[in-house]
Structure 1
Amino acid sequence: MGQGLVPYLCCPDAASAIDFYVSVFGAVEVQRWTADDGRIGHAELSLAGETLFLADEHPEIGVRGPRAYGGTPVALVLSVPDADLTVAAAVKAGATVERPVVAQDDGSRAGWIFDPFGHRWNLHTPGDTATVEQVQDRVGDKYTITE
């Protein structure tokens, strides 16, 4: 594991979550720690060159997934080669669309999903290499962009 920020997801069915992230996002399972009761206490995935940790829910020690709290305010942003295809594959595997894939002001294409485990993902494909000034022209007075 590197020295950076590592998201640690709690899932109601971590084994199925691993299967979803491997099949839909192309993650690679690095390791899995399975307890005697069958729950995953810790798993590590490699996803888009970064590390993602996850585990099953363990409510007895306060570890619960987003649905236990009525949702999540957090989104994971994942750059993918084709946002349209990735969102379609995610939906086929049980995700729900929060916002469909559309062209963004920065030239990318992006859509938002909730995976089957309650986690929100922004799946985007980078677009053109617009300058900050060009993007500011596109967004008009909706936002002021600073660097």
Structure 2
Amino acid sequence: MTPNINISPRLIVPDPDRASAFYQDALGAEQVFRAPLSDDGRPTVVDHRLGGVSLRVSPAVAAWGWLAPSDLGGSAVLLEIEVDDPDAVGERMVAHGAEVVVPIENRPYGKRSGRIRDPFGHLWIITGELR
């Protein structure tokens, strides 16, 4: 029997409030929880609902081992989201400061997808049905 497990990605970023605003504006995430401010004025976690999953952002704190992609020289993880309109989501992300790494196009494996780097260095695969 498989235990009931939920996985909630927590993205480490320099500025959780700025990241929260980006994910709300670009992806339609809904902020559902914001922890009280830490000593440096940043929230320790901001929780969002994105579709049926939780997406959290927290500040980079080297003493805790919480490092942002800029601290690591790049992102060690790819976040993949499947959406109805990958082109529109990619365009919204870029309009809010993200950059295209691989253009969103029809792919030979039967999906329309591409890669976007958000303003905080995290890499996203945006995918959906062929058009």
Q: Give the TM-score normalised by the residue count of structure 1.
A: 0.80
Aligned to 1:139: none
How far apart are 1:86 and its partner, in Å?
Answer: 1.1
Contact 1:110–1:123 (8 Å) recurs in 2: yes
1:54 aligns with 2:50: no
How far apart are 1:40 and its partner, in Å?
Answer: 1.6
Point out the structure with the larger helix share: 1
2:107 to 104, 107, 116: 104
Contact 1:106–1:127 (8 Å) recurs in 2: no
Q: Secondary structure at the match of 1:106?
A: coil
How far apart are 1:42 and its partner, in Å?
Answer: 1.2
Q: Secondary structure at the match of 1:122?
A: strand
How far apart are 1:77 and its partner, in Å?
Answer: 0.4
Aligned to 1:79: 82
Aligned to 1:136: none
1:27 to 26, 29, 36: 29
* Separation (CA, whole Å) in 2 of partners of 1:90 and 1:27: 12
How far apart are 1:26 and its partner, in Å?
Answer: 0.9
Identical counterparts, % of pairs: 33
Structure 1: gaps of 5 or more residues: 129-147
How far apart are 1:45 and its partner, in Å?
Answer: 0.8
How far apart are 1:73 and its partner, in Å?
Answer: 2.8
Matched length: 127
Structure 2: gaps of 5 or more residues: none
Aligned to 1:44: 47
Q: Which of structures 1 and 2 has the larger relative contact order (alpha carbons within 8 angstroms, sep 6+)?
A: 2
Q: Secondary structure at the match of 1:41?
A: coil
Aligned to 1:119: 122
Q: Secondary structure at the match of 2:45?
A: strand
Contact 1:11–1:65 (8 Å) recurs in 2: yes
Distance 1:127 1:4, change over 3 A: farther
- The letter of the residue matching 2:91 is A
1:90 aligns with 2:93: yes
* Separation (CA, whole Å) in 1 of partners of 2:51 and 2:81: 8
How far apart are 1:41 and its partner, in Å?
Answer: 0.5
Contact 2:12–2:59 (8 Å) recurs in 1: yes
